[in-house]
Amino acid sequence: MIDDKQRRPSGAQSGQFCLGGREYRLGPAAERGAVTAWPAAEAGGGVWDDVLIRRLRPGAGERQVRLFRLAWEAEAEQLDLPGARSLFFEQPESGCILRSFPKAPSLAALFEQRPGPLPAEEALELTARLLRALEGFHSRGLLHLDIRAEQIYLLPGRRLFLDNCRALDMERPEEDGLPRALGPCAAPELRLMNLAALDRASDIFSCCALLYRMLLGRPLTDAELMGTGLARGLRQSLARAQELPDARADELARLLWRGLHLLPQRRFSSARELLGLVSGLRGGIEADA
């Protein structure tokens, strides 16, 4: 069991912590694998969710330190916004990261406000932004494996932030990198905890599952998530939900059939490949309007 002293970053007293020359008040700690995270606010402020402080627990191995830094780089790349504080370390040896990003609603909040289908152009644009964020993880040899609406924040300036609780090393996948709870968009191989089958296509599946939700206004059923029942009537459902010409509905259906295929090797090979198709489809639909 971790006591209250262990739950605070080094140097924290009575729920206060100095990082990068600023004083922060700490909220309750959350354990995420080898990382402890605290929601925090600058001293004198009244909002708890404006920053997140993360610290590797003492005794973390070299591999965990490497993953921690790579995930930090992928997050920092997404948050490179003009005029906004991004991420910084206090000291490399401290193992502490502070993350700050503009207040923004999550994709889950958008779904609550607008429970039906989103317009195809908007759904495809959001998917394109998600794929660009995901590419930052994949290019560093990391799998995200926890892509869901609650982890996606819609930032000002048509930007998107893909949050990350833990990441899996593509070269050396281990169970401690897996999400503790599976989201509704988890790929079949992740649901089966088949470590050997996990790769970029597992994250691609989750992106396509979110696109399905945005286009049809409902999540995939359990049967559809496990590869059965998806093909039946999908093109007609898309045409009805989006009022699209048959040719465009057919293109969307083919994209979803491939991205949501039960077998990882039959899906898109990379976020970049899918991004090209999504961007082309969006351009075609806008040209039709």
Q: Are residues 76 and 206 in the same domain?
A: no
Q: Are residues 176 and 277 in the same domain?
A: yes
Q: Is the pLDDT of residue 103 over 70?
A: no
Q: Are residues 62 and 119 in the same domain?
A: no
CB 162 within 8 A of CB 170: no
Give the whole-angstrom CA distance, residue 26 versus residue 14: 9
What CATH number is attached to the domain comprising 71? 3.30.200
Mean pLDDT over each residue of the chain, to the nearest integer: 80
The predicted model gives 57-69 an average pLDDT of 73
Q: Each residue of 163-221: pLDDT tens digit? A: 876 778 887 766 666 766 788 899 999 998 888 899 999 999 999 999 999 999 999 88
Nearest residue to 21 (alpha-carbon basis) of 7, 35, 11, 8: 11
The predicted model gives 104-111 an average pLDDT of 91
Nearest residue to 24 (alpha-carbon basis) of 100, 77, 105: 100
* Residue-level pLDDT at 104: 79
137 pLDDT band (50/70/90 cuts)?
A: very high
Q: Are residues 171 and 283 in the same domain?
A: yes
Give the whole-angstrom CA distance, residue 115 versus residue 236: 20
Give the whole-angstrom CA distance, residue 108 versus residue 32: 21
Q: Each residue of 212-270: pLDDT tens digit? A: 999 999 998 887 777 666 766 788 889 889 988 888 999 999 999 999 999 999 999 99
CB 181 within 8 A of CB 32: no
Q: Are residues 117 and 246 in the same domain?
A: yes
Nearest residue to 177 (alpha-carbon basis) of 192, 191, 162, 165: 165
Q: Are residues 124 and 83 in the same domain?
A: no
Q: Are residues 65 and 126 in the same domain?
A: no
Q: Are residues 208 and 242 in the same domain?
A: yes
The predicted model gives 146-171 an average pLDDT of 84
Tally of structural domains, the chain: 2
β-pair partners for 41? 25
Q: Are residues 28 and 169 in the same domain?
A: no
Q: Are residues 81 and 112 in the same domain?
A: no
Give the whole-angstrom CA distance, residue 256 versus residue 207: 10
CB 40 within 8 A of CB 53: yes
Could you give the C-alpha distances from 6 to 42, 90, 129, 178, 246, in angstroms and in order?
A: 21, 18, 38, 24, 60
Q: Each residue of 65-77: pLDDT tens digit? A: 777 778 878 887 8
CB 253 within 8 A of CB 238: yes
Q: Are residues 44 and 132 in the same domain?
A: no
Q: What 3-state DSSP class applies to 190?
A: helix
Q: What 3-state DSSP class applies to 32?
A: strand
Who contacts 155 (Cβ-Cβ below 8 Å, separation ≥6)?
A: 81, 101, 102, 104, 161
Cα 119 to its chain centre, rounded Å, is: 22
Q: Is the pLDDT of residue 116 over 80?
A: yes
Q: Which domain holds residue 148?
A: 107-288
What is the 3-state composition of the chain as percent helix, strand, coil, each rounded to the nearest 5?
A: 45, 15, 40
Q: Are residues 146 and 31 in the same domain?
A: no
The predicted model gives 156-165 an average pLDDT of 81
* Residue-level pLDDT at 101: 57
